[in-house]
Structure 1
Protein backbone atom coordinates (compact mmCIF):
# COMPACT_ATOMS: atom_id res chain seq x y z
CA UNK A 1 0.00 0.00 0.00
CA UNK A 2 1.39 3.42 -0.99
CA UNK A 3 2.34 5.71 1.92
CA UNK A 4 1.46 9.41 1.99
CA UNK A 5 5.08 10.14 3.01
CA UNK A 6 8.17 9.96 0.80
CA UNK A 7 11.78 10.10 1.98
CA UNK A 8 14.14 11.37 -0.74
CA UNK A 9 17.78 10.24 -0.47
CA UNK A 10 20.37 11.48 -2.99
CA UNK A 11 23.36 9.15 -3.30
CA UNK A 12 26.84 8.93 -4.72
CA UNK A 13 28.98 5.97 -3.64
CA UNK A 14 26.81 4.97 -0.67
CA UNK A 15 26.70 1.20 -1.28
CA UNK A 16 27.93 0.54 2.28
CA UNK A 17 25.05 2.49 3.79
CA UNK A 18 21.99 2.54 1.56
CA UNK A 19 20.75 -1.02 2.01
CA UNK A 20 20.79 -0.83 5.81
CA UNK A 21 19.27 2.66 5.76
CA UNK A 22 16.36 1.48 3.63
CA UNK A 23 15.80 -1.48 5.95
CA UNK A 24 15.63 0.81 8.98
CA UNK A 25 13.24 3.19 7.23
CA UNK A 26 11.00 0.30 6.22
CA UNK A 27 10.88 -0.88 9.84
CA UNK A 28 9.59 2.43 11.23
CA UNK A 29 6.19 2.54 12.89
CA UNK A 30 5.39 5.50 10.61
CA UNK A 31 5.01 3.98 7.12
CA UNK A 32 7.15 5.76 4.54
CA UNK A 33 8.17 5.16 0.95
CA UNK A 34 11.75 5.80 -0.13
CA UNK A 35 13.10 7.39 -3.30
CA UNK A 36 16.84 7.04 -3.95
CA UNK A 37 18.32 9.30 -6.62
CA UNK A 38 21.70 7.89 -7.57
CA UNK A 39 24.21 9.90 -9.59
CA UNK A 40 25.87 7.04 -11.43
CA UNK A 41 27.73 5.64 -8.41
CA UNK A 42 30.51 3.29 -9.56
CA UNK A 43 30.48 1.39 -6.25
CA UNK A 44 27.17 -0.43 -6.83
CA UNK A 45 24.82 1.84 -4.87
CA UNK A 46 22.04 1.40 -7.44
CA UNK A 47 22.43 -2.37 -7.30
CA UNK A 48 22.00 -2.26 -3.52
CA UNK A 49 18.78 -0.26 -3.95
CA UNK A 50 17.48 -2.75 -6.51
CA UNK A 51 18.15 -5.54 -4.03
CA UNK A 52 16.07 -3.62 -1.48
CA UNK A 53 13.32 -3.25 -4.09
CA UNK A 54 13.18 -7.03 -4.44
CA UNK A 55 12.51 -7.21 -0.69
CA UNK A 56 10.22 -4.22 -0.15
CA UNK A 57 8.58 -3.91 -3.54
CA UNK A 58 6.82 -0.67 -4.48
CA UNK A 59 7.77 1.09 -1.25
CA UNK A 60 11.30 1.62 -2.62
CA UNK A 61 11.87 3.74 -5.74
CA UNK A 62 15.05 4.44 -7.69
CA UNK A 63 16.03 7.10 -10.20
CA UNK A 64 19.42 6.51 -11.83
CA UNK A 65 21.18 9.50 -13.34
CA UNK A 66 24.12 9.51 -15.72
CA UNK A 67 26.70 11.14 -13.44
CA UNK A 68 27.38 13.59 -10.61
CA UNK A 69 24.74 16.22 -11.35
CA UNK A 70 24.63 17.66 -7.85
CA UNK A 71 22.60 17.60 -4.66
CA UNK A 72 20.26 20.42 -5.65
CA UNK A 73 19.23 18.93 -8.98
CA UNK A 74 18.72 15.56 -7.27
CA UNK A 75 16.30 17.07 -4.77
CA UNK A 76 14.48 19.04 -7.47
CA UNK A 77 13.98 15.79 -9.38
CA UNK A 78 12.82 14.11 -6.19
CA UNK A 79 10.33 16.89 -5.45
CA UNK A 80 8.96 16.62 -8.97
CA UNK A 81 8.54 12.87 -8.48
CA UNK A 82 6.79 13.38 -5.13
CA UNK A 83 4.30 15.79 -6.66
CA UNK A 84 3.72 13.56 -9.69
CA UNK A 85 3.00 10.58 -7.42
CA UNK A 86 0.76 12.61 -5.06
CA UNK A 87 2.76 12.30 -1.84
CA UNK A 88 1.66 14.73 0.87
CA UNK A 89 4.70 14.71 3.18
CA UNK A 90 8.10 14.92 1.51
CA UNK A 91 11.28 14.35 3.50
CA UNK A 92 14.96 14.94 2.79
CA UNK A 93 17.74 13.00 4.47
CA UNK A 94 21.35 11.95 3.90
CA UNK A 95 22.36 8.41 3.06
CA UNK A 96 25.26 8.19 5.50
CA UNK A 97 23.44 7.80 8.86
CA UNK A 98 24.36 11.31 9.96
CA UNK A 99 20.57 11.63 10.21
CA UNK A 100 18.88 8.97 12.30
CA UNK A 101 15.98 7.14 10.61
CA UNK A 102 14.27 7.11 14.02
CA UNK A 103 13.85 10.89 13.81
CA UNK A 104 11.86 10.74 10.57
CA UNK A 105 8.46 10.04 12.20
CA UNK A 106 8.67 13.04 14.53
CA UNK A 107 9.42 15.38 11.64
CA UNK A 108 6.47 14.02 9.68
CA UNK A 109 4.16 14.18 12.70
CA UNK A 110 4.92 17.87 13.28
CA UNK A 111 3.79 18.63 9.72
CA UNK A 112 0.77 16.32 9.99
CA UNK A 113 -0.35 18.09 13.15
CA UNK A 114 -0.17 21.43 11.37
CA UNK A 115 2.58 22.78 13.63
CA UNK A 116 4.57 23.93 10.60
CA UNK A 117 4.75 23.58 6.83
CA UNK A 118 8.49 22.83 6.87
CA UNK A 119 9.92 21.00 9.88
CA UNK A 120 13.70 20.96 10.10
CA UNK A 121 15.85 18.43 11.94
CA UNK A 122 18.16 21.01 13.47
CA UNK A 123 21.74 20.71 14.71
CA UNK A 124 21.64 24.14 16.36
CA UNK A 125 18.13 24.66 17.74
CA UNK A 126 19.12 23.49 21.22
CA UNK A 127 22.75 24.46 21.47
CA UNK A 128 25.07 22.39 19.28
CA UNK A 129 24.08 18.74 18.85
CA UNK A 130 26.79 17.30 16.59
CA UNK A 131 28.91 14.22 17.29
CA UNK A 132 32.41 13.49 15.94
CA UNK A 133 32.99 16.61 13.85
CA UNK A 134 36.46 18.18 13.87
CA UNK A 135 36.50 21.59 15.55
CA UNK A 136 37.41 23.38 12.28
CA UNK A 137 34.39 21.95 10.48
CA UNK A 138 32.10 22.78 13.38
CA UNK A 139 33.31 26.39 13.42
CA UNK A 140 32.87 26.64 9.63
CA UNK A 141 29.33 25.25 9.74
CA UNK A 142 28.19 27.33 12.69
CA UNK A 143 29.70 30.51 11.23
CA UNK A 144 28.10 29.82 7.84
CA UNK A 145 24.70 29.52 9.47
CA UNK A 146 25.15 32.78 11.38
CA UNK A 147 26.16 34.45 8.13
CA UNK A 148 23.15 33.06 6.21
CA UNK A 149 20.74 34.08 8.97
CA UNK A 150 22.17 37.60 9.07
CA UNK A 151 21.92 38.15 5.31
CA UNK A 152 18.57 36.48 4.67
CA UNK A 153 16.76 37.15 7.94
CA UNK A 154 15.67 33.51 8.17
CA UNK A 155 14.10 32.79 11.58
CA UNK A 156 15.92 29.46 12.04
CA UNK A 157 19.31 28.48 13.44
CA UNK A 158 20.19 25.64 11.04
CA UNK A 159 19.76 27.23 7.61
CA UNK A 160 21.82 24.54 5.85
CA UNK A 161 20.04 21.54 7.40
CA UNK A 162 19.50 18.68 4.95
CA UNK A 163 17.07 16.76 7.15
CA UNK A 164 13.47 17.93 6.97
CA UNK A 165 9.83 17.24 6.17
CA UNK A 166 7.94 19.50 3.77
CA UNK A 167 4.21 19.61 3.06
CA UNK A 168 3.48 19.25 -0.64
CA UNK A 169 1.69 22.61 -0.75
CA UNK A 170 5.06 24.28 -0.12
CA UNK A 171 6.63 22.56 -3.13
CA UNK A 172 3.63 23.43 -5.28
CA UNK A 173 3.85 27.10 -4.30
CA UNK A 174 7.57 27.88 -4.49
CA UNK A 175 8.14 26.52 -8.03
CA UNK A 176 10.96 24.09 -7.29
CA UNK A 177 11.86 23.98 -11.01
CA UNK A 178 13.27 27.51 -10.62
CA UNK A 179 15.74 26.55 -7.90
CA UNK A 180 19.35 26.85 -9.07
CA UNK A 181 21.44 26.20 -5.95
CA UNK A 182 23.23 22.88 -5.71
CA UNK A 183 25.23 22.25 -2.53
CA UNK A 184 24.40 23.47 0.97
CA UNK A 185 23.08 26.65 -0.65
CA UNK A 186 20.16 24.55 -1.89
CA UNK A 187 18.99 24.05 1.69
CA UNK A 188 19.24 27.77 2.41
CA UNK A 189 17.29 28.50 -0.76
CA UNK A 190 14.39 26.15 -0.05
CA UNK A 191 14.04 27.50 3.50
CA UNK A 192 14.18 31.08 2.24
CA UNK A 193 11.69 30.55 -0.56
CA UNK A 194 9.24 28.79 1.76
CA UNK A 195 9.55 31.50 4.42
CA UNK A 196 9.18 34.35 1.93
CA UNK A 197 6.08 32.64 0.52
CA UNK A 198 4.48 32.83 3.96
CA UNK A 199 4.93 29.25 5.12
CA UNK A 200 5.80 28.42 8.72
CA UNK A 201 9.20 26.90 9.48
CA UNK A 202 9.91 25.00 12.69
CA UNK A 203 13.10 23.42 14.03
CA UNK A 204 13.15 20.15 15.95
CA UNK A 205 16.43 19.36 17.69
CA UNK A 206 18.20 16.21 16.52
CA UNK A 207 21.57 14.57 17.20
CA UNK A 208 23.73 14.81 14.07
CA UNK A 209 26.50 12.19 13.75
CA UNK A 210 29.45 12.21 11.39
CA UNK A 211 29.02 9.61 8.64
CA UNK A 212 29.72 6.00 9.58
CA UNK A 213 30.95 4.81 6.16
CA UNK A 214 32.27 6.48 3.02
CA UNK A 215 33.70 9.93 2.30
CA UNK A 216 32.21 13.38 2.90
CA UNK A 217 31.06 15.27 -0.23
CA UNK A 218 32.08 18.69 1.21
CA UNK A 219 34.20 20.84 -1.11
CA UNK A 220 35.44 24.43 -1.40
CA UNK A 221 33.07 24.97 -4.31
CA UNK A 222 30.09 24.08 -2.14
CA UNK A 223 31.22 26.57 0.52
CA UNK A 224 31.74 29.41 -1.97
CA UNK A 225 28.37 28.78 -3.60
CA UNK A 226 26.68 29.18 -0.21
CA UNK A 227 28.57 32.43 0.46
CA UNK A 228 27.44 34.22 -2.70
CA UNK A 229 24.04 32.56 -3.08
CA UNK A 230 22.59 34.10 0.08
CA UNK A 231 23.22 37.57 -1.37
CA UNK A 232 21.61 36.54 -4.65
CA UNK A 233 18.51 35.29 -2.84
CA UNK A 234 18.26 38.43 -0.71
CA UNK A 235 18.58 40.73 -3.72
CA UNK A 236 16.04 38.73 -5.74
CA UNK A 237 13.55 38.97 -2.87
CA UNK A 238 14.06 42.74 -2.57
CA UNK A 239 13.40 43.36 -6.28
CA UNK A 240 10.48 40.92 -6.39
CA UNK A 241 12.12 38.34 -8.65
CA UNK A 242 12.44 35.43 -6.23
Structure 2
Protein backbone atom coordinates (compact mmCIF):
# COMPACT_ATOMS: atom_id res chain seq x y z
CA UNK A 1 0.00 0.00 0.00
CA UNK A 2 1.30 3.45 -0.94
CA UNK A 3 1.90 5.50 2.24
CA UNK A 4 -0.42 8.46 2.63
CA UNK A 5 1.18 11.84 2.15
CA UNK A 6 0.09 15.08 3.79
CA UNK A 7 -1.47 17.70 1.53
CA UNK A 8 0.81 20.19 -0.19
CA UNK A 9 -0.40 23.58 0.98
CA UNK A 10 2.56 25.95 1.33
CA UNK A 11 4.65 26.02 -1.85
CA UNK A 12 7.88 27.91 -2.56
CA UNK A 13 8.80 28.32 -6.23
CA UNK A 14 12.57 28.81 -6.58
CA UNK A 15 13.76 30.81 -9.61
CA UNK A 16 17.57 30.98 -10.03
CA UNK A 17 18.75 33.99 -12.01
CA UNK A 18 21.95 35.26 -13.54
CA UNK A 19 21.64 38.04 -16.12
CA UNK A 20 17.91 37.51 -16.62
CA UNK A 21 16.85 41.16 -16.50
CA UNK A 22 14.70 40.66 -19.59
CA UNK A 23 12.90 37.65 -18.12
CA UNK A 24 12.57 37.92 -14.36
CA UNK A 25 9.47 40.14 -14.24
CA UNK A 26 7.77 38.00 -16.90
CA UNK A 27 8.42 34.69 -15.16
CA UNK A 28 7.46 35.93 -11.70
CA UNK A 29 4.22 37.35 -13.06
CA UNK A 30 3.34 34.10 -14.83
CA UNK A 31 4.10 32.03 -11.72
CA UNK A 32 1.94 34.28 -9.55
CA UNK A 33 -0.93 34.07 -12.06
CA UNK A 34 -0.66 30.27 -12.42
CA UNK A 35 -0.34 29.37 -8.71
CA UNK A 36 -1.59 32.41 -6.76
CA UNK A 37 -1.23 30.70 -3.38
CA UNK A 38 2.46 29.93 -3.88
CA UNK A 39 5.37 32.12 -2.86
CA UNK A 40 8.20 32.92 -5.27
CA UNK A 41 11.86 33.04 -4.26
CA UNK A 42 14.24 34.64 -6.77
CA UNK A 43 17.80 33.37 -6.25
CA UNK A 44 20.04 35.96 -7.86
CA UNK A 45 23.78 35.35 -8.22
CA UNK A 46 24.72 39.05 -8.15
CA UNK A 47 23.75 39.54 -11.80
CA UNK A 48 25.71 42.46 -13.31
CA UNK A 49 22.76 43.34 -15.57
CA UNK A 50 20.55 44.42 -12.66
CA UNK A 51 18.31 41.34 -12.39
CA UNK A 52 18.51 41.45 -8.61
CA UNK A 53 17.32 45.03 -8.47
CA UNK A 54 14.33 44.24 -10.67
CA UNK A 55 13.51 41.31 -8.37
CA UNK A 56 13.73 43.61 -5.35
CA UNK A 57 11.17 45.94 -6.92
CA UNK A 58 8.85 43.00 -7.55
CA UNK A 59 9.21 41.89 -3.94
CA UNK A 60 8.48 45.40 -2.70
CA UNK A 61 5.14 45.33 -4.53
CA UNK A 62 4.16 41.74 -3.66
CA UNK A 63 4.50 40.15 -0.22
CA UNK A 64 4.58 36.68 -1.82
CA UNK A 65 7.74 37.45 -3.78
CA UNK A 66 11.10 37.14 -2.03
CA UNK A 67 14.69 37.63 -3.15
CA UNK A 68 17.80 35.85 -1.94
CA UNK A 69 20.91 37.74 -3.08
CA UNK A 70 23.97 35.53 -3.45
CA UNK A 71 27.55 36.86 -3.69
CA UNK A 72 28.34 35.64 -7.19
CA UNK A 73 27.81 33.08 -9.91
CA UNK A 74 28.37 29.60 -8.49
CA UNK A 75 26.22 27.42 -10.73
CA UNK A 76 22.72 26.03 -10.76
CA UNK A 77 23.20 23.44 -8.03
CA UNK A 78 24.44 25.76 -5.27
CA UNK A 79 21.70 28.28 -6.10
CA UNK A 80 18.97 25.68 -5.72
CA UNK A 81 20.52 24.28 -2.54
CA UNK A 82 20.41 27.77 -1.04
CA UNK A 83 16.76 28.02 -2.05
CA UNK A 84 15.96 24.63 -0.54
CA UNK A 85 17.51 25.65 2.78
CA UNK A 86 15.60 28.93 2.77
CA UNK A 87 12.30 27.16 2.11
CA UNK A 88 12.82 24.34 4.59
CA UNK A 89 13.74 26.78 7.34
CA UNK A 90 10.40 28.53 6.77
CA UNK A 91 8.25 25.43 6.86
CA UNK A 92 7.08 25.11 3.25
CA UNK A 93 5.46 21.80 2.29
CA UNK A 94 7.00 21.67 -1.19
CA UNK A 95 9.71 23.39 -3.20
CA UNK A 96 9.60 23.94 -6.96
CA UNK A 97 12.52 24.30 -9.38
CA UNK A 98 11.80 26.38 -12.47
CA UNK A 99 13.98 28.23 -14.98
CA UNK A 100 13.75 32.00 -15.25
CA UNK A 101 13.73 32.13 -19.04
CA UNK A 102 10.20 30.84 -19.66
CA UNK A 103 11.33 27.49 -21.07
CA UNK A 104 9.41 25.89 -18.22
CA UNK A 105 5.82 27.05 -18.59
CA UNK A 106 4.39 28.15 -15.22
CA UNK A 107 0.92 27.39 -16.58
CA UNK A 108 1.81 23.68 -16.28
CA UNK A 109 2.83 23.96 -12.63
CA UNK A 110 -0.67 23.15 -11.28
CA UNK A 111 -0.42 19.74 -12.97
CA UNK A 112 2.95 19.05 -11.35
CA UNK A 113 1.64 20.10 -7.93
CA UNK A 114 -1.42 17.88 -8.39
CA UNK A 115 0.89 14.92 -9.07
CA UNK A 116 2.73 15.65 -5.82
CA UNK A 117 -0.38 14.51 -3.93
CA UNK A 118 0.86 10.95 -4.50
CA UNK A 119 4.59 11.43 -5.01
CA UNK A 120 7.70 12.68 -3.25
CA UNK A 121 9.39 14.09 -6.36
CA UNK A 122 7.62 15.22 -9.53
CA UNK A 123 9.62 15.81 -12.71
CA UNK A 124 8.27 17.85 -15.58
CA UNK A 125 9.46 15.54 -18.34
CA UNK A 126 10.19 16.32 -21.96
CA UNK A 127 10.85 12.71 -22.94
CA UNK A 128 7.79 10.78 -21.77
CA UNK A 129 4.68 10.36 -23.96
CA UNK A 130 2.96 13.73 -24.14
CA UNK A 131 6.14 15.69 -23.44
CA UNK A 132 7.68 17.88 -26.12
CA UNK A 133 10.47 20.30 -26.98
CA UNK A 134 9.96 23.38 -29.12
CA UNK A 135 12.43 25.60 -31.02
CA UNK A 136 15.44 23.45 -30.24
CA UNK A 137 18.04 22.75 -32.94
CA UNK A 138 18.82 19.13 -33.70
CA UNK A 139 22.12 19.16 -31.79
CA UNK A 140 20.38 20.19 -28.55
CA UNK A 141 17.79 17.44 -28.97
CA UNK A 142 20.50 14.87 -29.59
CA UNK A 143 22.49 16.12 -26.57
CA UNK A 144 19.48 15.92 -24.23
CA UNK A 145 18.26 12.53 -25.43
CA UNK A 146 21.82 11.18 -25.37
CA UNK A 147 22.50 12.52 -21.87
CA UNK A 148 19.33 11.00 -20.49
CA UNK A 149 19.93 7.67 -22.19
CA UNK A 150 23.48 7.66 -20.81
CA UNK A 151 22.21 8.42 -17.28
CA UNK A 152 19.50 5.77 -17.49
CA UNK A 153 21.88 3.05 -18.68
CA UNK A 154 24.88 4.00 -16.53
CA UNK A 155 22.85 4.31 -13.34
CA UNK A 156 20.15 1.71 -14.01
CA UNK A 157 17.31 4.11 -13.25
CA UNK A 158 13.83 4.18 -14.84
CA UNK A 159 13.52 7.98 -15.17
CA UNK A 160 13.30 9.18 -18.78
CA UNK A 161 14.27 12.82 -18.14
CA UNK A 162 16.72 12.79 -15.25
CA UNK A 163 18.30 16.07 -16.41
CA UNK A 164 15.01 17.99 -16.36
CA UNK A 165 15.03 21.14 -14.27
CA UNK A 166 11.28 21.61 -13.82
CA UNK A 167 10.46 19.82 -10.57
CA UNK A 168 8.47 19.65 -7.37
CA UNK A 169 10.07 18.26 -4.21
CA UNK A 170 8.15 17.57 -1.06
CA UNK A 171 9.95 19.12 1.91
CA UNK A 172 10.17 15.75 3.68
CA UNK A 173 11.83 14.27 0.61
CA UNK A 174 14.48 16.99 0.52
CA UNK A 175 15.05 16.53 4.22
CA UNK A 176 15.83 12.84 3.68
CA UNK A 177 18.20 13.30 0.74
CA UNK A 178 21.30 14.73 2.48
CA UNK A 179 21.38 17.67 0.10
CA UNK A 180 24.21 19.27 2.09
CA UNK A 181 26.51 16.62 0.57
CA UNK A 182 25.59 17.52 -3.03
CA UNK A 183 28.60 18.92 -4.89
CA UNK A 184 27.21 19.03 -8.44
CA UNK A 185 27.36 22.44 -10.08
CA UNK A 186 25.54 22.35 -13.41
CA UNK A 187 22.72 20.32 -14.89
CA UNK A 188 24.04 17.02 -13.49
CA UNK A 189 22.72 18.42 -10.21
CA UNK A 190 19.33 17.21 -11.43
CA UNK A 191 20.66 13.69 -12.04
CA UNK A 192 22.30 13.75 -8.61
CA UNK A 193 19.03 14.54 -6.83
CA UNK A 194 17.10 12.03 -8.94
CA UNK A 195 19.53 9.30 -7.92
CA UNK A 196 19.42 10.30 -4.26
CA UNK A 197 15.62 10.17 -4.28
CA UNK A 198 15.49 6.74 -5.90
CA UNK A 199 18.18 5.32 -3.62
CA UNK A 200 16.11 6.37 -0.61
CA UNK A 201 13.00 4.64 -1.92
CA UNK A 202 11.14 7.87 -2.62
CA UNK A 203 8.35 7.90 -5.18
CA UNK A 204 9.47 9.77 -8.29
CA UNK A 205 6.92 10.42 -11.04
CA UNK A 206 7.23 12.13 -14.41
CA UNK A 207 4.55 14.45 -15.79
CA UNK A 208 4.74 15.40 -19.49
CA UNK A 209 5.49 19.06 -20.16
CA UNK A 210 6.17 21.23 -23.19
CA UNK A 211 9.65 22.76 -23.07
CA UNK A 212 9.94 26.06 -24.96
CA UNK A 213 13.39 27.38 -25.84
CA UNK A 214 14.08 30.83 -24.40
CA UNK A 215 13.43 33.89 -26.55
CA UNK A 216 15.29 36.46 -24.41
CA UNK A 217 18.84 36.19 -23.07
CA UNK A 218 21.41 33.46 -23.61
CA UNK A 219 21.56 29.84 -22.51
CA UNK A 220 23.89 28.96 -19.61
CA UNK A 221 24.77 25.59 -21.20
CA UNK A 222 28.44 25.19 -22.08
CA UNK A 223 31.03 22.46 -22.52
CA UNK A 224 32.11 22.49 -18.87
CA UNK A 225 28.55 21.66 -17.80
CA UNK A 226 28.36 18.77 -20.27
CA UNK A 227 31.79 17.52 -19.20
CA UNK A 228 30.90 17.64 -15.51
CA UNK A 229 27.74 15.65 -16.12
CA UNK A 230 29.50 13.00 -18.23
CA UNK A 231 32.27 12.45 -15.67
CA UNK A 232 30.10 12.49 -12.56
CA UNK A 233 27.41 10.21 -13.99
CA UNK A 234 30.10 7.76 -15.11
CA UNK A 235 31.65 7.69 -11.64
CA UNK A 236 28.25 7.30 -9.96
CA UNK A 237 27.42 4.46 -12.33
CA UNK A 238 30.61 2.54 -11.47
CA UNK A 239 30.06 3.11 -7.74
CA UNK A 240 26.42 2.06 -7.98
CA UNK A 241 27.17 -1.12 -9.92
CA UNK A 242 29.99 -2.02 -7.53
CA UNK A 243 27.69 -1.56 -4.54
CA UNK A 244 25.01 -3.71 -6.14
CA UNK A 245 27.57 -6.44 -6.86
CA UNK A 246 28.80 -6.40 -3.25
CA UNK A 247 25.23 -6.67 -1.99
CA UNK A 248 24.51 -9.64 -4.27
CA UNK A 249 27.70 -11.39 -3.23
CA UNK A 250 26.85 -10.72 0.41
CA UNK A 251 23.39 -12.21 0.00
CA UNK A 252 24.82 -15.21 -1.83
CA UNK A 253 27.37 -15.73 0.91
CA UNK A 254 24.76 -15.57 3.66
CA UNK A 255 22.55 -17.99 1.75
CA UNK A 256 25.40 -20.45 1.26
CA UNK A 257 26.39 -20.24 4.89
CA UNK A 258 22.81 -20.91 5.96
CA UNK A 259 22.62 -24.02 3.77
CA UNK A 260 25.89 -25.31 5.21
CA UNK A 261 24.54 -24.71 8.71
CA UNK A 262 21.40 -26.68 7.91
CA UNK A 263 23.44 -29.57 6.52
CA UNK A 264 25.54 -29.76 9.67
CA UNK A 265 22.63 -29.82 12.12
Normalised by the length of structure 2, the TM-score is 0.85
Distance change >3 Å, CA 145–CA 17, structure 1 → 2 = same
Q: 2:88 aligns with which of 83, 88, 102?
A: 83
Q: Partner residue of 2:11?
A: 5
Q: 2:135 aligns with which of 121, 132, 140?
A: 132
1:210, distance to aligned residue in structure 2 (A): 0.4
Q: 2:109 aligns with which of 100, 104, 107?
A: 104
Between the two proteins, the alignment pairs up a number of residues equal to 235
**Is contact 1:118-1:165 (8 Å) kept?**
yes
Matches within 5 A, 1:71-220: 71-111=76-116, 113-114=117-118, 116-126=119-129, 129-220=132-223
Q: Secondary structure at the match of 1:156?
A: coil
CA–CA distance in structure 2, aligned partners of residues 118 and 169 of structure 1: 10
**Is contact 2:35-2:109 (8 Å) kept?**
no
CA–CA distance in structure 2, aligned partners of residues 99 and 229 of structure 1: 25
Q: Secondary structure at the match of 1:125?
A: coil
Long gaps (5+) in structure 1: none
Q: 2:53 aligns with which of 47, 50, 55?
A: 47
**Is contact 2:59-2:66 (8 Å) kept?**
yes
CA–CA distance in structure 1, aligned partners of residues 130 and 33 of structure 2: 30
Instruction: Indicate whether 1:68 and 2:92 are aligned.
Output: no
Matches within 5 A, 1:12-51: 12-51=18-57
Distance change >3 Å, CA 93–CA 136, structure 1 → 2 = same
1:145, distance to aligned residue in structure 2 (A): 0.6
Rg larger in structure = 2
CA–CA distance in structure 2, aligned partners of residues 30 and 170 of structure 1: 24
Q: Partner residue of 2:232?
A: 229
RMSD: 1.4
Q: Secondary structure at the match of 1:218?
A: coil
CA–CA distance in structure 2, aligned partners of residues 146 and 225 of structure 1: 16
CA–CA distance in structure 1, aligned partners of residues 93 and 35 of structure 2: 18
Q: Secondary structure at the match of 1:27?
A: helix
